[in-house]
Amino acid sequence: MSQVKVIPLGGAGEIGKNCTVVEQDGDLVVIDVGLAFPHEEHYGVDIVVPDFTYLLENKHRLKGIFLTHAHEDHVGALSFLLPQLEAPVFCTPFTAAMVRMKLEERAHLQGSTIEVVEPGATVDRGALKVEFVRVTHSIPETCALAVHTVHGIVLFTADFKFDFTPVDGKLTNVGRLTELGQEGVVLLVSDSTNVDRPGWGPSERRVTEGLRKVVQNAQGRVLVTMFASNIHRMQQAIDVAAENGRRVAVTGRRMEQTIDIARRLGYLRIPEGTYVRLDDVGKFAANELLILTTGSQGEPMAALSQMSRAEYGRLKIVEGDTIVYSARPIPGNEGAIWRTVNRLVKMGAEVVYDSDSPIHVSGHAYQEELKMMINLVQPFYLAPVHGEPRHQFLYNRIASAMGWPDHRLFTLSNGTVLHMDDEQAWIGESVTAGEVLIDQHGNVAVNETVLAERTSLGADGVVVVSMALDTELGDIVSRPEAQIRGFSGPVSAVEDAIDSANDVLSRLTSTNLKDLDKVRAAVSEAVRKTINRRCQQRPVVVVSILESD
């Protein structure tokens, strides 16, 4: 009997770089190819993508890549994967337009194609069928993906919420989810990001009230910052601007591009005469303007961050401006966001980041919504993803309270293989999985050794030891000397380290002194150990040997 395998390569036990493989009868499909943002300890790392070794080793069996929606944590690593293999990519029209825009920037499609699939449609790929089921989320045309396997349906919820008054009027297809439950969902792979929020999340539409209050009270210009892909939020800001006689301008390249696409494809409606070019804002009074801007996460190069440093040539913050943060900080970005907010406040702007009427709501299901999904689709097995271990733990505890026995609840991590046959499911062997760190130029330049060195450099600086040897005779020509940069320990520790380097050298025979690698290793070790013993610091030690004869 065929086995079905579900293998997360990213997104299990973390929030970010979602990517999961489903396999049956030698055929393989991938759900999402996302990126993650670096943590504080990732010095010089711009983005993090999944380790694709397993996919690359099995690329001849890959039948297709399926995308749930166009957020970076679900599509952002395509430009790193697609140049390495050939596969059709299936997604909804809006996702396709966003992905095409992003791919044109970074990589070519090579032999891969982007196939547009309407919500509700099913794609047949070898042994597996994948059905797109519409759900509500903070970006248009998000779809849960139902993978029809020989043992039942493996249902990926995607990022979702149950919003009964969505801004675009397009509801989660509750009817189809219920039917899938009746047909037999063997495994529910669920979003769990907001499992620690009790109750039911507010509808996206509630943001209209919050924005309206701010706009009506503002004497001057209103700037609203949000994720560049949040079309529904933009729609509300534009509508509130229009009803209050304000024109809308846009700053930030990514936001301009997204608005352009969304407008062209009919996902964003801008009332006649409302949109003005940024260069024309000077023609209007301050209280006739609302400006949409990137930079809600404190990204250093985003328009709002540049404005906060008075470095943005096209728009200056002035006293009387009101700036609305309509986005939740991605964990890790808080410091950068507060620094930006503080600079804006010092410039005389009023900054609104919290309010009694919401100016931001989450796109992810709260506890009761997660339970509703479980109730609708009645899965046999459950596996929360899109959450850290604490979210997965809490999700499974809730499912357990709903009557699911422990052996039907799984906590997946990246690389674990969940096997299913017609009798049971179990976690078997693991495949290669992990993180690949990409620098700002798009190169896979940063490995763990480099990262460890950067951490040491950042914390304790560098000690460069230089000396000269005659490698023909095996003689010391000039004794070790040290230079330090960014090292804050006592000078005497460095002097002791040089003494210990001299001790080591005096114990080496002339034959040993002809072997540069050996000398370098011995001196480096002596210096590192002495400094660490003297002042508990671990600077990077570089030994530079000049050969002379």
Query: Does 460 engage in binding with Zn ion (CB under 5 A)?
Result: no
Q: Does 32 bind Zn ion (CB under 5 A)?
A: no
* φ, ψ at 477 (rounded to 5°): -90, -45
Closest CB 129 distance from Zn ion, rounded Å = 24
CB 238, min distance to Zn ion, A: 22
Q: Which long-range contacts (CB under 8 A, 24 or more apart) does 35-40 make?
A: 35/72, 35/73, 35/76, 35/77, 36/10, 36/73, 36/435, 37/330, 37/332, 37/333, 38/332, 38/437, 39/332, 40/332
**Spatial CA neighbour of 223 closest among 281, 181, 271:** 281
DSSP E strands: which ranges in 454-526?
462-470, 475-485
Report the nearest approach of Zn ion to the CB of residue 340 (Å): 23
CB of 177 to Zn ion, least distance (A): 18
- Phi-psi group of 278: left, alpha or beta (phi > 0 → left; psi -120 to 50 → alpha; rest → beta): alpha
Show Cβ contacts of residue 32 under 8 Å, excluding neighbours closer than 6 positions. 11, 18, 19, 20, 66, 67, 68, 74, 75
Q: Which of 364, 386, 391, 460 is catalytic?
A: 364
Which is nearer to Zn ion, 196 or 279 (by Cβ)? 196
When the beta carbons of 159 and 350 are compared against Zn ion, the nearer one is 159
| For Zn ion, the closer CB: 145 or 349 | 145
Q: Which residue in the set 17, 42, 63, 71 belongs to the binding site for Zn ion (CB under 5 A)?
A: 71
Among 32, 51, 73, 191, the active-site one is: 191
Q: What is the SS3 assignment for 317? A: coil
The answer to whether residue 356 is catalytic is no
Question: Taking contact as CB under 5 A, which single stretch among the options 64-72, 240-248, 318-326, 521-529 is the one that binds Zn ion?
Answer: 64-72
Tokens found for residue 67: 């995308």
Choice between 73 and 321, CB closer to Zn ion = 73
- Which is closer to Zn ion, CB of 71 or CB of 371? 71
Closest-CA residue to 373 (of 360, 384, 359, 362): 384
User: Environment class of residue 449 by beta-carbon count within 10 Å: exposed (0-12), middle (13-18) or buried (19+)?
Assistant: exposed
Give the Cβ contact number of residue 129 at 10 Å.
15
Helices marked H in 245-382: 253-264, 303-308, 334-346, 367-377
Span from 63-71, 167-175, 338-346, 424-432 in contact with Zn ion (CB under 5 A):
63-71
Stretch that binds Zn ion, among 69-77, 162-170, 237-245, 499-507 (CB under 5 A): 69-77
In the complex, least distance from residue 386 CB atom to Zn ion, rounded to whole angstroms:
6
Using CB under 5 A, which of the segments 47-55, 71-79, 98-106, 343-351 binds Zn ion? Answer: 71-79
Segment 107 to 166, residues that bind Zn ion, using CB under 5 A: 159
Residues 489-528 that bind Zn ion (CB under 5 A): none
Return d(Cα 186, Cα 176) in angstroms, integer.
16
Closer CB to Zn ion, residue 333 or residue 400?
333
Kindly state the number of chain residues that form the binding site for Zn ion, as judged by CB under 5 A: 3
**Backbone φ, ψ for residue 165 (5° rounding):** -130, 60
Kindly state whether residue 73 participates in binding Zn ion, applying the rule CB under 5 A.
yes
Least distance (Å) between residue 416 CB and Zn ion: 20
Residues 259-288 that bind Zn ion (CB under 5 A): none
- For 330-336, the CB contacts below 8 A with 24+ separation are 330/37, 330/297, 331/15, 332/37, 332/38, 332/39, 332/40, 333/37, 333/297, 333/298, 335/298, 336/297, 336/298, 336/299, 336/300, 336/305
State the nearest-atom distance from the C-beta of 74 to Zn ion, in Å: 6
Q: Using CB under 5 A, which of the segments 65-73, 422-430, 449-457, 502-510 binds Zn ion?
A: 65-73
C-alpha torsion 191→197→198→203, nearest 10? -80
- The Cα-based distances of 40 to 43, 45, 85, 333, 455 in angstroms read 7, 9, 32, 9, 10
Closest approach, Cβ 373 to Zn ion, in A, equals 15
Nearer to Zn ion, 227 or 325 (CB): 227
Nearest residue (CB) to Zn ion, 81 versus 289? 81
Query: Rounded to the nearest 5°, which phi and psi values hold at 118?
Result: -75, 145
Q: Which is nearer to Zn ion, 74 or 148 (CB)?
A: 74
> Contacts with Zn ion in 234-253 (CB under 5 A)?
none
Across-strand partners of 464? 483, 542
Catalytic, 421? Answer no
Kindly state the smallest distance separating residue 170's Cβ from Zn ion, in Å. 16
Site for Zn ion in 159-178 (CB under 5 A): 159
Closest by CA position to 85, among listed 115, 59, 106, 63: 59
How far is it, in rounded angstroms, from Cα 226 to Cα 538? 41
Residues labelled catalytic: 191, 364
Give the residues lining the site for Zn ion (CB under 5 A): 71, 73, 159
